[in-house]
Amino acid sequence: MSNNWEMVIGLEVHAQLKTTSKLFSSSPNLFGSEPNENVNFIDSGMPGMLPVLNWACIEKAIKTGFALNFTINKHSVFERKNYFYPDLPQGYQISQFEFPILSEGYLDIDQPDGSTKKIRIERAHLEQDAGKSIHDIDPKFSFIDLNRVGTPLLEIVSYPDLSSAEDVVNYMSSLRQTLMYIDVCDGNMQEGSLRADVNLSVRKPGGELGTRCEIKNLNSFKFIRQAIEFEFQRQIEVLEAGESVEQNTMLFDTNTGETRPMRSKEFSHDYRYFPDPDLLPVNLTDEQINQIKPSMEELPHEKMNRYINEYKIDKDISKIIIAEKENTVLFEQMINESDVAPKNIASCLVGDIFAFIKEKNTEVLSLLEFTKDITDLLKLISEDVISNKAGKEILPQVLEGKGKPNELVKKMGLEQVSDTSELEKIIDEALVGEEENIAKFQGGSDRVLGYFVGKCLKSTKGKGNPKLINKILLEKLKIINGKSLIFENCDKINDK
Amino acid sequence: MSDIDIKRISYLAKLKLPSEKEEFYSQSLEDIIQWVDNLKKIDTSNVKPLHNVTEATVSIRNDNIEKNNTPEDVLKNSPERAQNFFKVPKVVE
Amino acid sequence: MPKRQPISSLVNSLKEKKISVHELFDQFHKVAKENKNNSYNLVLDPDYQKSNIEASQERYSAGTNLPLDGIPLGIKDLFCTKGITTTASSKILSNFIPQYESFVTQQLLNDGAIFIGKNNCDEFAMGSSNETSHFGPVVNPWQNKNNPSEKLVPGGSSGGSAAAVAEGSCVASMGTDTGGSIRQPASLCGLVGLKPTFGSCSRWGIVAFASSLDQAGPITNCVEDAAYILNSISKHDFNDSTSSNYQRDDYIKDIDKKLDHKIKIGIPSDYLKNVTPEITAQIENTKKSLAGHDIEFIDVAFETTDYALSTYYIIAPAEASSNLARYDGIRYGVREEGSNLDDIYLNSRTSGFGDEVTRRILIGTYVLSAGYYDAYYRQAQKVRRLIKDDFQRVFQEVDFILTPTTPNEAFKIGEKLDPIAMYMNDVFTVPTSLAGLPGISLPSGLSSNGLPLGVQIIGNYFEEKKLLQLSNLIEKELSFNE
Ligand SMILES: [Mg+2]
Ligand SMILES: [Zn+2]
């Protein structure tokens, strides 16, 4: 049914800014405090209280401007958006309306076919967050906690350039990634640091835009996907039943996965925006704007390019690393602290370290204290002191802080046997009675070499240096057969 | 009759005018709006609105925390509370 | 009215131990307590102020007295005072006890002043006669000599402040002026009322009426007292984003200094178009009194005067409608019962606000609403610029502007029922407010009914020092207080 319909989506993303204090007051900008702990007389809308703008919020907006290719407006104006709600103490939200701080930006998102799609962003403006009404403590009452009141938000409004749930999730996660990279937002969606309002309408391909509905306040990728899919089907059903979609504000029910209109209002909203007379316009100088540029952090795609070009890391692995900023912090610290090849560090990170993180459910950044140990361990492997396999065994211990790699190697008895005479003895023993296989080798079967290496490793209980065994083995076979050997095969085996 | 929708205006302002006063306010509003209508005579097409006589840029503060009050100070005047929450009849969305 | 002692001479008496701080407080408190003109919403008794009185007395004894030490002041009930009920003369705030002190009153406390109480005013400062107060009208202490039984308004909205100073229950009172609310009552009560330049005194902690217009200022017996208070309250406040950080003068120093160069005073003909001869006479008196000085009077004309009231009655209610949205019965103030949240809002606000406040909220909501914003609010903002420019043009020619303060003397309580007729009271004070300029009202004479009338002198931005010097001179020459 949905085959002949397409969806048109625009996103309004509210990002809480990572600041110490609030947008217009000096209360802490903190999540998870006791009720009304972070509330002063400004936040609670007491008579005569006045807002004073936090410069850090302007700074973060400017950084976002650079990162998302915005025009940074030198003149912006805070206005009042007037409406009544119990978690809105002033009776208005201070926001930007006619003159936002940022306009006309864009963000490139990846498409399944490997190409990128440009999502245009209409504007981004600074505004205050509201408090929280808690409805589930008491059946008859709502409890109001104003801690979140005045938390700085940057509302980022895209054009309706998104055409699938996939697009939306890509856009949102790319946005989230960028904001986290430039330290503008902590990206914690569970705590509401990043919330999306989805504006969705449907149309026949090439047809006129339909009436849109706004689904409010989605704070997880799962819900965003669910809400979009449900709302898409709902609108199609309405239209195919010959009715028309009513412009509405919808709520998403996380329990049922359905969208439903908010309780209809007697009168439509009229926010009566007007410039806040308590605040003067924000007039920025070129100097103020440019001053922020040098402090800009590397953006995800910039990092990725550097990893590929400078560190010679595969694109796919680079992509995995840059997905979260914290990965890059861990990664770059390892690179800076050691001379281990970045490539080896990268493969260890996305392989064993990520596996450990997943299994133990630990924080990436909690491993920062072990980076030196990790690279020491990688060094032991590259210097053939231990085998790759031994390294895998030791790594979890290192990540749990159970000891230094060289201590652990000794303690666990994993030091590699690299004594040539000892290995020669083992190899000689291994070749006894293997005339048939030697003949196969002679016939060009490279699998036999693997068999011999395996046999030798087994008799060293895994501690034999495979590279060395390989080398000696080849020498021996050469002698035995008096033939030259296929070294490409050997290299392949060496790599494993 | 006036084109002022007094019901809508009072709803936006969260005021419930008693029906016997609706006409009074409606009339009064209309008189005043008519009285201020003389502004329409002025050609302001080239004039920028003046938001504030102080046409300086906004003053800003550094991103520091200042805590000069307790939750109790904020809740002290509340008509109804539950522990450290403000309390209101259930909000239905 | 009896001649009052200025602050300087009271401070001297306290210094010389001719009177104690306690005795001085008692003397004013006694009058305040009677509250016969309803000029107080709340009177603080000597017990409450005991520690302040004692601390002040100690400073006098130690010779470390502060500029306003021990001076009993009235405070308009629009200033939030820590631990002291602050109502804005509204039912909705009738139980509100701020846990903070407004910037301006804090400066006065820092300088040793002792508060007598909270002065009645128009509800949320919306009114020109002090009749909109939830706690009843204030009565002007002056009487019509031809009809002494008539109760007259003191003007508004700082009517309680003016009546309190006039009745002698405080030495001076802090008022606020949005469109004339200091100057007009000062004029109707025969006092000095100063509205400083917008941005001169912090609005932090003052219950907001119209943020882009509100300005605190003193109502006093004499110009010198206004200078004393301005010295205390005019400071840059970081917590008010519209507070100016220009370098303030010492307003007392050289207040008596003779004019050292010729000054030009403009008299706007358009202000005198429709006034009674009695009002015109005030301007003539003032001119005459200055005859011996090197002052040139120049006729000037404004192009925007006729639009000022309209502009004001769009901008002020618009801002007010938003500023008063926080009074909803949820976090403080009076909450009315309701079966659901919306009912609580509606019932609390409807019952909590009086008629005039309701009217202005409605006007403000209307002019900001969709479809009307451009025609009313934006247009008013544009005309406001024209008004400001108009003043700047005139100030290129002259140093000061002299106008009447009000078009009439104090009128009977209940006389002006029509809101527009009431709004006309502010016709001479509103333009200055819109331009954000400093203006002062000085008593200039008596009407045929024996009621005080005043003139307004308008200065250029932040020229309060020169404005007070000229006012001081006029005061001396007019000898109104003698
Ligand atoms: Mg939205
Ligand atoms: Zn928003």
Q: Which residue has the higher pLDDT, C432 or A251?
A: C432
Please state, in angstroms and rounded to a whole number, the distance separating the CA atoms of residues A42 and A24: 8
Using one digit for the tens of pLDDT, what is the confidence trace for A430-489? 878 787 877 777 777 777 778 888 888 777 776 777 777 878 877 777 766 554 444 444
Distance from CA of C357 to the nearest CA of A (A): 16
Question: What's the pLDDT band for A491 if we cut at 50, 70, 90?
Answer: very low
Q: With contacts defined as CB-CB under 8 Å, which chain A residues touch C88? A: 47
How many A/B residue pairs have CB atoms within 8 Å? 130
The number of angstroms, rounded, from the C-alpha of A216 to the middle of its chain's C-alpha atoms is 23
Helix, strand, coil percentages (3-state) for chain C, rounded to 5, are: 40, 15, 45
Examine the pLDDT at B64 and tell me if it is beyond 70: yes
| pLDDT at A274 (0 to 100) | 98
pLDDT exceeds cutoff 90 at A414: no
Task: Determine whether the interchain pair A280/B55 forms a contact, defined as Cβ–Cβ distance below 8 Å.
Answer: yes
Question: What are the b/e assignments for B34-60, b being 16+ CB within 10 Å?
Answer: eebeebeebebeebebbbbbbeeebbe
Lowest mean pLDDT among A110-124, A405-419, B15-29, C316-330: A405-419
User: Which pLDDT score, from 0 to 100, does residue B3 have?
Assistant: 73
Distance (Å) of CA A443 to CA A326, A447, A474, A476: 52, 11, 15, 16
Q: What is the span of the domain harbouring residue B28?
A: 3-40
How far apart are the CA of B12 and the nearest CA of chain C, in angstroms? 7
Distance in angstroms (rounded) separating the CA atoms of residues C351 and C329: 11
Q: CA A350, CA A363: separation in Å to the nearest integer?
A: 14
The pLDDT value given to residue C279: 96
Give, in degrees to the nearest 5, the angle at Cα C463 between C460 and C469.
Answer: 120
In a 13 Å sphere around the CA of C195, the CA atoms on its Cβ side amount to: 34
Asked if residue C216 lies in contact with residue C242, where contact means CB atoms within 8 angstroms, the answer is no
Is B19 within the bounds of a domain?
yes
| Catalytic-role residue among C89, C90, C173, C181 | C181
Task: For residues B13-18, give the mean pLDDT.
Answer: 95
Query: For residues C472 and C258, is the Cβ–Cβ distance under 8 A?
Result: no
Residue A97 has pLDDT above 60, yes or no: yes
Confidence of residue A166 (pLDDT cuts 50, 70, 90): very high
Closest CA to C121 of C46, C178, C83: C178
A46/C98 CB distance under 8 A: yes
The CB density around residue C2, as the number of other CB atoms within 10 Å, is 6
Q: pLDDT tens digits, residue range A67-90? A: 999 999 999 999 999 999 999 999
Cα A361 to Cα A350, A366, A397, A408, C385: the distances in Å are: 15, 11, 15, 23, 62
Of C206, A124, A21, residue with least CA distance to B61: A21
Residue A197 alpha carbon to ligand 1 centre in Å:
5
With both helix axes pointing from N to C terminus, report the angle between A165-181 and A300-310 in degrees, rounded to the nearest 10: 80
- Whole-number Å distance between alpha carbons of C358 and C349: 9
Residue C407 — very low, low, confident or very high, per pLDDT cuts 50/70/90?
very high
Task: Return the CATH number of A420-495, one of 3.30.420.40, 3.90.950.20, 3.40.1010.20, 1.10.10.410.
Answer: 1.10.10.410
Please give the average per-residue pLDDT across C377-404, as a whole number.
98
Per-residue burial over C67-94, b = 16 or more CB atoms within 10 Å of its CB, e = otherwise = bbbbbbbbbbbbbbbeebebbbbbbbbb
Going along chain C from its start, the domains and CATH numbers come out as: 7-258+403-481 (3.90.1300.10)
Mean pLDDT, rounded, for A321-341 = 93
The answer to whether A259 and A227 are in contact (CB under 8 A) is yes
b/e for C324-355, b at 16 or more Cβ within 10 A? Answer: bbbbbbbbbbbbbebeebbebbbbbbbebbbe
Which of B58, B61, B76, B91 would best serve as a mutation to test chain A binding (most A beta carbons within 10 A)?
A: B58
CB C250, CB C363: distance < 8 Å: no
Separation of alpha carbons C94 and C75, rounded Å: 16
C-alpha C330: how far from chain center: 31
Measured between beta carbons, the chain C residues lying within 8 angstroms of A92 are 322, 325
CA pair distance C459, C470, nearest whole angstrom: 10
The answer to whether residue A30 scores a pLDDT higher than 60 is: yes
Antiparallel, parallel or unpaired: β A248-253 and A152-158: unpaired
User: Which residues make beta-bridge pairs with A12?
Assistant: A157, A197
Q: Is the pLDDT of residue C1 over 70?
A: no
Ligand 1 centre and the CA of A11: distance in Å?
9
The whole-angstrom separation of Cα A287 and Cα A62 is 12
Residues of C in contact with B37 (CB under 8 A): 310
Average pLDDT, chain A: 89
Instruction: Output the CA C402–ligand 2 centroid distance in Å.
Output: 49
Q: Is position B47 within any domain?
A: no
Residues of A within 8 A of B8 (CB-CB) are: 267
Entry pTM: 0.91
Q: C378 vs chain B: nearest CA distance in angstroms?
A: 6
Q: What is the DSSP string of A428-485?
A: HHHHTT-HHHHHHHHTT-THHHHHHHHHHHHHTTT-B-HHHHHHHHHHHHHHHHT---
Interatomic CA distance for residues C390 and B56, integer angstroms: 20
Instruction: Dump strand ranges (E) for A111-212.
Output: 116-128, 132-134, 141-145, 152-158, 194-203
Grade residue A3 by pLDDT with cuts at 50, 70 and 90.
low
User: Looking at the predicted structure, is the pLDDT value of residue A219 above 80?
Assistant: yes
Q: Which of A39, A40, A55 sits opposite B60 (nearest CB)?
A: A55
Q: How many CB atoms lie within 10 A of CB A125?
A: 23
Residue B71 touches partner A, C-beta closer than 8 Å? yes
Which among A41, A82, A143 has the least Cβ separation from residue B74?
A41
Mutate to test the interface with B, among C307, C327, C360, C385 (most CBs of B within 10 A): C385
Helix segments in A182-299, DSSP class H:
221-240, 286-290
Q: pLDDT digit string (tens) for C107-161? A: 999 999 999 999 999 999 999 999 999 999 999 999 999 999 999 999 999 999 9
Return the bridge partners of A134, or none.
Answer: A143
Q: Among residues A210, A203, A259, which one has the least CA distance to residue A231?
A: A259
Question: Which region, left, alpha or beta, applies to residue A385 given φ > 0 means left and ψ of -120 to 50 means alpha?
Answer: alpha
Q: Please say if C181 is a catalytic residue.
A: yes
The pLDDT value given to residue A16:
98
CA A218/CA A202 separation, integer angstroms: 20
Return the ligand number nearest the Cα of A93: 2
- Options C39, C56, C76, C441, the catalytic residue: C76
At residue B77, φ and ψ (nearest 5 deg) are: -90, 5
- pLDDT of the residue at C431: 98
Interface test with B, best of A49, A142, A145, A292 (most B CBs within 10 A): A142
- Closest by CA to A357, choosing from A369, A366, A370, is A366
Question: Would the pLDDT of B1 be above 80?
Answer: no
Nearest to B12 among C243, C358, C365 (CB): C365
The CATH number of residue B20's host domain is 1.10.20
Q: Where are the domains of chain A?
A: 6-290, 298-412, 420-495
CA-nearest residue to A272 within chain B is B12
What is the average per-residue pLDDT within A46-65? 98
Among the options C56, C102, C157, C244, which is catalytic?
C157
What pLDDT is recorded for position A264?
A: 54
DSSP H or E stretch at residue A395: helix A388-399
Structure confidence at residue A197 (pLDDT): 96
Whether B48 contacts chain A with CB within 8 A: no
C480 band by pLDDT with thresholds 50, 70 and 90: low
Percent of chain A with pLDDT over 90: 66
Q: Is the ipTM of this complex over 0.95?
A: yes
**pLDDT surpasses 50 at C373:** yes
Query: Do A12 and A197 meet the contact criterion of CB atoms below 8 Å apart?
Result: yes
Measured N-to-C along each axis, helices C21-34 and C7-15 cross at an angle, to the nearest 10 degrees, of 130
Residue A431: the pLDDT is 79
User: Distance, CA C317 to ligand 2 centroid (Å)?
Assistant: 26
**C-beta of residue C239 within 8 angstroms of C-beta of residue A52:** yes
C202 is catalytic: no
- The Cα of B83 is separated from the nearest Cα of chain C by a number of Å equal to 14
Question: What would the mean pLDDT of C178-193 be, rounded to a whole number?
Answer: 98
C470: enclosing H helix or E strand: helix C464-478
Interface probe for C, chosen from A54, A278, A280 (most Cβ of C below 10 Å), is A278
**What residues in C contact A50, CB-CB < 8 Å?**
203-204, 239-241
Per-residue DSSP letters for C401-430? EEEES-SS---BTT---SHHHHHGGGTTTH
**Which residue from C427, C420, C453 is spatially nearest to C272, judged by alpha carbons?**
C427
CA distance A252 to A237: 18
A368 CB burial (10 A radius; 0-12, 13-18, 19+) = middle
Q: What is the pLDDT of residue A481?
A: 56
Q: In chain A, what residues touch B56 (CB-CB under 8 Å)? A: 280
pLDDT of B8 higher than 50: yes
Neighbours, chain B (3 or more CB pairs < 8 A): A, C
Beta strand C400-404 with A248-253 is: unpaired
> Is the pLDDT reported for residue A417 higher than 60?
yes
Q: What is the distance between the alpha carbons of residues A240 and A326, in angstroms, rounded to a whole number?
A: 47
**Which tops the pLDDT comparison, C72 or A382?**
C72
Residue C482 has pLDDT above 80, yes or no: no
What is the A124 CA–ligand 2 centroid distance (Å)? 10
Average pLDDT, stretch C236-255?
96
Sorting pLDDT into bands at 50, 70 and 90, what band is C301? very high
Least confident of A301-315, A441-455, C206-220, C359-373: A441-455
| Interchain proximity A142–C238, CB inside 8 Å | no
Q: Is residue C2's pLDDT more than 70? A: no
**How many Cβ atoms sit within 10 Å of the Cβ of residue A278?**
25
Enumerate the residues of chain B whose CB falls inside 8 A of the CB of residue A20: 63-65
From A86's Cα to the closest Cα of chain C, the distance in A is 7
Contact A280 B63 (CB under 8 A): no
Q: Which chains touch C (3 or more CB pairs under 8 A)?
A: A, B
Q: Which ligand is nearest to the CA of A130?
A: 2
Q: Is B59 part of the contact surface with chain C (CB cutoff 8 Å)?
A: yes
- What C42-47 contacts at long range (C-beta under 8 Å, 24+ apart), as own/partner pairs, is C42/C77, C42/C84, C42/C85, C42/C117, C42/C118, C43/C116, C43/C117, C44/C84, C44/C115, C44/C116, C44/C117, C46/C22
Ligand closest to CA A155: 2
Is A492 a residue whose pLDDT tops 50? no
**In this predicted structure, what is the pLDDT of residue B54?**
85
C157 flagged as catalytic: yes
Q: How many CB pairs under 8 A join B and C?
A: 163
B24-41 pLDDT per residue, tens: 999 999 999 999 999 999
Ligand 1 ion: residues within 5 Å (CB): A 12, 197
Looking at chain A, the whole-number percentage of residues with pLDDT higher than 70 is 93
Give the largest Cα separation in chain C, rounded.
Answer: 72
Q: Cα separation of C36 and A253, whole Å? A: 63
The candidate with the shortest Cα–Cα distance to B10, out of A47, C373, C369, C333, is C369
How many angstroms separate the CA of residue A259 from the nearest CA in chain C?
A: 24
What contacts B87, CB < 8 A, 6 or more positions away? A141, A142, A143, A144, B78, B80, B81
Give every CB contact of residue C101 below 8 A, 6+ residues apart in sequence.
Answer: C80, C81, C82, C109, C205
Distance, CA A46 to ligand 2 centroid (Å)? 23
What contacts A177, CB < 8 A, 6 or more positions away? A187, A300, A322, A323, A324, A325
The ligand placed nearest to the CA atom of residue A214 is 1
Q: A242: CA distance to ligand 1 center in Å? A: 28
Residues of B in contact with A52 (CB under 8 A): 59-61
**What is the count of structural domains for chain B?**
1
Residue A268, amino acid: S
